[in-house]
Amino acid sequence: MTETNQTPQHSLVLVKPDGYRRGLTGEVLRRIEAKGYRLVALSIVEATQEQLAAHYAEHEGKPFYQPLVDFMSSGPLAAVIIEGDACIPAFRSLAGATDPTAAAPGTIRGDLGRDWGLKVQQNIVHGSDSPESAAREISIWFPEHAE
């Protein structure tokens, strides 16, 4: 029998306030499930300043940091834990490039996003970029699921 990993990979996905406001949460979740990943936690929340400071600590001091925090505070978002082998790079691939203008057609950002001429790109989704980020971000948004 083929050996499988004992612990499936998890990634933290956010449908950002632009995606939630535009009614794209279901479309994002549909793409994740159609790809073959499982949703293991889902929550519609208004992010606290503490959550956003922790989530985006790596960007503090950059010119788009405050616009990013303000945007992420502009309304509800959907926080999701997804599960399955290689789901971290696979979701980054589904999401597409950070800049929605450059994001390839077929990706979430390429199909559903655009540049609105603002100080921060509103690009519909966030996805963890490494196992370390995923563990850190899951503890921010779902402390009850911390690994």
Which residues are marked as active site? 126
Interactions with ligand DAT, residue window 37-76 (CB under 6 A): 59, 64, 68
Residues present in the chain in total: 147
Q: CA torsion 63→67→94→55, rounded to 10°?
A: 90
Report the phi/psi class of residue 90: left, alpha or beta, with left for phi > 0 and alpha for psi in -120 to 50.
alpha
Tokens of 134: 């995923």
123 interacts with ligand DAT by CB under 6 A: yes
121 interacts with ligand DAT by CB under 6 A: yes
Q: Which is nearer to ligand DAT, 123 or 144 (CB)?
A: 123
Stretch that binds ligand DAT, among 32-40, 43-51, 117-125, 133-141 (CB under 6 A): 117-125
Minimum CB separation from ligand DAT for residue 122, in Å?
8
Q: Which is nearer to ligand DAT, 29 or 126 (CB)?
A: 126
Whether the CB-CB separation of 97 and 17 falls below 8 Å is answered with no
120 interacts with ligand DAT by CB under 6 A: yes
126 interacts with ligand DAT by CB under 6 A: yes
Minimum CB separation from ligand DAT for residue 63, in Å?
7
**Buried/exposed 70-108: b ≥16 CB within 10 Å, e otherwise:** ebbebeebbbbbbebeebbebbbebbbbeebeebeeebb
Q: Is 14 helix (H, G, I), strand (E, B) or coil?
A: strand
Interactions with ligand DAT, residue window 6-35 (CB under 6 A): none
